[in-house]
Amino acid sequence: MRFLSSLLLILCASPAVASQFDRPIPQSQSATAELWFGLASVVLIAALGLVHHLVMRK
In whole angstroms, what is the distance from residue 52 CA to residue 55 CA?
A: 5
Q: For residue range 9-49, what is the model confidence (pLDDT) as tens digits?
A: 777 666 665 677 788 888 888 999 999 999 999 999 999 99
Indicate the pTM of the whole model: 0.52
In whole angstroms, what is the distance from residue 23 CA to residue 19 CA?
A: 13
In whole angstroms, what is the distance from residue 43 CA to residue 47 CA?
A: 6
Give Rg (Cα) of the chain.
28
In whole angstroms, what is the distance from residue 49 CA to residue 35 CA?
A: 21
Domain boundaries, given as residue ranges, for the chain: 1-55
DSSP code of residue 14: S
Q: For residue range 2-15, what is the model confidence (pLDDT) as tens digits?
A: 777 777 777 766 66
